[in-house]
Amino acid sequence: MGSRRGAIVASSKSRERERLVTGGQPSALGVVYRTSKVDEVAFPRLTHELGHRLDTLATTTPIAYRRQNHGDYVIPAMTLRDDLAPGREGFDVHVATPARAEPDG
What are the residue ranges spanned by the domains of the chain? 64-99
Which residues neighbour 32 within 8 Å (Cβ) at sequence distance 6 or greater? 38, 46, 50
Residue 25 in this model has a pLDDT that exceeds 80? no
- State residue 98's pLDDT score: 65
Question: Is 65 in a helix, a strand, or coil?
Answer: strand
For the chain, give the longest Cα–Cα distance.
60
Q: What's the average model confidence in pLDDT over 67-80? A: 87
pTM value > 0.75: no
Which of residues 54 and 102 earns the better pLDDT score? Answer: 54
